[in-house]
Amino acid sequence: MPKTKYVEIYEDLKQKIEKNMYEYQQLLPSENTLVKEYECSRNTVRRAIGNLVNDGYVQTKHGQGARVIYQDFKQNEYMFGETETFKEFALRNLKKHETKVVVFEELTVDEAIHEHTLLPIGVEVYHIQRVRHLEGNPVIMDYNYFRKDVVKGLTVDIAEDSIYEYLARELNQRAVTAKRKMVVERTTEADEKYLKLDGFNSVVVVTSHIFNADGVMFEHTQSRHTPGNFVFFDQTQRK
Amino acid sequence: MPKTKYVEIYEDLKQKIEKNMYEYQQLLPSENTLVKEYECSRNTVRRAIGNLVNDGYVQTKHGQGARVIYQDFKQNEYMFGETETFKEFALRNLKKHETKVVVFEELTVDEAIHEHTLLPIGVEVYHIQRVRHLEGNPVIMDYNYFRKDVVKGLTVDIAEDSIYEYLARELNQRAVTAKRKMVVERTTEADEKYLKLDGFNSVVVVTSHIFNADGVMFEHTQSRHTPGNFVFFDQTQRK
DNA sequence: TGGTATTTGTCCGTATGTATC
DNA sequence: GGATACATACGGACAAATACC
């Protein structure tokens, strides 16, 4: 699939910023200059720049230009909370990883489950409980609910490898929108039984509602992270 | 200042979704229909819808339409981590609030301060340490550094009210971009001395780098939240 | 099954307004 | 005041995915 023009420009500019070809606090070339450089319309350039703004790479000012505010953070090795899956994360950081399935069962959503998952009453789901290990240490407990009409044919083997790889490869399904809520809670007995808490009496609880391309909320997950391995980044602009 | 057209359309659609005039899982009217309805160009409609996508209110699908995926969460009373200031948050939730200044001093950034704030060496800053109270309970410790060349004339009185209100009113300055990092750390002696921890041996540490309209990073803040009062929401789409 | 209409996605060009330099 | 630069808005063209008959 060919990349679109504005994505190409966006990625090119992004890379140039990361390589300090455009430096911190410097203005990007004006939109009209970039129009000539990339031989495209001004709208296309503006779209690319808009994406850089969303990433916190530049900040635009009316009448002035787009100023680089990217700073080369020391790349934190841990980085949960983004769209990345556990396996992707582990591979990117070259970490030994392992997933152990504690519970694997099939249920029908009742009032109680609906209450905390928002999944519709009556639909059939897989309920999976997994412990995620990094470098041999148990660092995350996942409680998943997957709609069986969307995620067909799950097995324990798949759940120990990567459900999302299976979804993409076999079912042509993927997560499009993820809504997440993060809180910190006191540990439960299960947390203390399964996780390596390093003295913490709390865990970071990330509750996710995940929608596929058809707008169906097909997954509800509660991930309980050991605090020592949890980092979350975020950037916002107000206009 | 008159609102722009696309913001008006965006806010109108948003409100209609919140009021269930467009229901969960329903498709919005097509772009061409909305063009007629709002008497504007298609680009303008698309921009409004794009903002709804960013808010996690709708999800678009090529050739099909924009489907509502907004769900009426029970509005959490606590909601830190957004762009809101402490005072705005307290007022919105009708909470009694109070800020006590523990440290107020003027410093010059040296190597050590630069290292953890990224503020340039040699610039003069206010260093402020504050305890934030909600309903009488100390729930946040703030460690602020403000550049004196941007934030002129700070006083203890201002720091106990709202620095951002002062910035806007007196100096015509404001936060445009905020970059944040969240981690959970074990409590320090200062945390235990000043905060009501309710048995937690950890705090949520939000480290912020804040840029003004000129692209100057004028503030570095570390906020240490008691876990029980911290909630963070987030939504992402991948295309 | 296939063809047509609908709908979103990309891209272009132009005009006007407004803030900055 | 004039030149530059970003922001908003319009309109049109075509491609690509989907829906419908």
Q: Match 């148990």 to its residue by tokens.
A: A138
| Rounded percentage of chain B residues whose pLDDT exceeds 90 | 75
- Pairwise CB contact (< 8 Å): A179 & B237: no
Is strand D less than 7 A from the beta carbon of B186? no
The values of phi and psi at residue A113, to 5°, are: -65, -40
pLDDT at A78: 57
Rounded to whole angstroms, the distance from the CA of residue A230 to the C1' of nucleotide D6 is: 39
Q: Tell me which chain A residues have a C-beta less than 8 angstroms from the C-beta of B183.
A: 227, 230-232
Token pair recorded at residue A32: 């009209």
B20 CB within 8 Å of a chain A CB: no
- Pairwise CB contact (< 8 Å): A179 & B61: no
Between the alpha carbon of residue B126 and those of residues A118, A130, B174, B215, the distances in Å are 47, 48, 17, 19
Q: Round the average pLDDT of chain B to a whole number and report it.
A: 91
DSSP A26: P
pLDDT at A74: 57
Is strand D less than 7 A from the beta carbon of A13? no
Between the alpha carbon of residue A24 and those of residues A17, A119, B91, the distances in Å are 8, 46, 37
Strand, coil or helix: A160 = helix
Question: Residue A141 and residue A10: Cα distance in Å, rounded?
Answer: 37
- Assess contact for B236 and B208: CB atoms under 8 A: no
Helix axes A31-38, A5-18, angle to 10 degrees: 110
Which of 3.40.1410.10, 1.20.1250.20, 3.10.620.30, 3.30.70.270 would CATH assign to domain B77-233?
3.40.1410.10
Q: What is the mean pLDDT of each run of 10 residues along chain A (239 residues)?
A: 90 97 96 97 97 95 96 63 73 86 96 93 96 93 95 94 90 91 94 95 94 95 92 85
- Assess contact for A173 and A163: CB atoms under 8 A: no
- Assess contact for A45 and A32: CB atoms under 8 A: no
Chain B span 85-114 residues with beta carbon within 7 Å of strand C? none
Is strand D less than 7 A from the beta carbon of B62? yes
Give residues 98 to 127 of A whose Cβ lies within 8 Å of B.
118
Chain B span 15-34 residues with beta carbon within 7 Å of strand C? 27-28, 30-33
Question: Please, where are the H alpha helices in chain B?
Answer: 5-18, 31-38, 42-54, 86-92, 111-117, 156-160, 163-166, 189-194
Chain D positions with an atom below 7 A of a protein C-beta are 4-13, 16-19
CA dihedral A48, A49, A53, A55 (to 10 degrees): 40
Using one digit for the tens of pLDDT, what is the confidence trace for B122-158?
999 999 999 999 989 999 999 999 999 999 999 999 9
Q: Match 């503030």 to its residue by tokens.
A: B219
B23 CB within 8 Å of a chain A CB: no
Q: Which strand ranges, in their side-by-side order, compose the sheet holding B231-237?
A: A97-108, A124-134, A137-147, A217-225, A202-211, A177-186, B231-237
Question: Residue B129 and residue B89: Cα distance in Å, rounded?
Answer: 19
Token pair recorded at residue A70: 């990217």
- Assess contact for B167 and B189: CB atoms under 8 A: no
Task: Name the minimum distance, in Å, from the CA of A161 to any CA of chain B.
Answer: 22
**Do strands A231-237 and A65-68 pair parallel, antiparallel, or not at all (unpaired)?**
unpaired
pLDDT at B75: 54
Token pair recorded at residue A198: 């390093």
Kindly write down the DSSP assignment for every residue of B87-123, as one continuous string.
HHHHHHTT--EEEEEEEEEEEE--HHHHHHH-PPTT-
Give residues 34 to 63 of A whose Cβ lies within 8 Å of B.
56, 59, 61
Intervals of CATH 1.10.10.10 along chain B:
5-68
| Rounded percentage of chain B residues whose pLDDT exceeds 70 | 95
Beta bridge partners of B185: B203
- Assess contact for B134 and B96: CB atoms under 8 A: yes
Dihedral sign for Cα atoms in the order A69, A74, A78, A83: positive
Kindly write down the DSSP assignment for every residue of A100-136, as one continuous string.
EEEEEEEEE--HHHHHHH-PPTT-EEEEEEEEEEETT
Please determine, for residue B177, whether its predicted confidence score (pLDDT) is greater than 90: yes
- Assess contact for A232 and A80: CB atoms under 8 A: yes
Q: Tell me which chain A residues have a C-beta less than 8 angstroms from the C-beta of B81.
A: 234
D8: residue with closest CA to C1'? B4
pLDDT at A83: 63
Please determine, for residue B80, whether its predicted confidence score (pLDDT) is greater than 80: no
Beta bridge partners of A202: A186
- Assess contact for B211 and A69: CB atoms under 8 A: yes
Between the alpha carbon of residue A108 and those of residues A116, A124, A125, B26, the distances in Å are 14, 4, 6, 25
Other C-beta atoms closer than 10 Å to the C-beta of B96 total: 10
The values of phi and psi at residue A117, to 5°, are: -110, -20
pLDDT at A2: 72
Between the alpha carbon of residue A73 and those of residues A69, B115, B116, the distances in Å are 12, 11, 11
Token pair recorded at residue B219: 């503030």
- Assess contact for B35 and B9: CB atoms under 8 A: no
Token pair recorded at residue A230: 């949890």
pLDDT at B223: 94
Intervals of CATH 3.40.1410.10 along chain A:
77-233
Strand, coil or helix: B164 = helix
Between the alpha carbon of residue B71 and those of residues A175, B16, B31, B55, B156, the distances in Å are 17, 13, 23, 12, 43
Please determine, for residue B166, whether its predicted confidence score (pLDDT) is greater than 60: yes
Is strand C less than 7 A from the beta carbon of A44? yes
B172 CB within 8 Å of a chain A CB: no
Segment holding A13, helix H or strand E = helix A5-18
pLDDT at B3: 86
pLDDT at A86: 82
Rounded to whole angstroms, the distance from the CA of residue A115 to the C1' of nucleotide C2 is: 46
Closest CA to A14 of A45, A61, A47, A51: A51
Annotation: CATH topology of A5-68: Arc Repressor Mutant, subunit A (1.10.10)
Segment among A105-109, B76-80, B182-186 with least mean pLDDT = B76-80
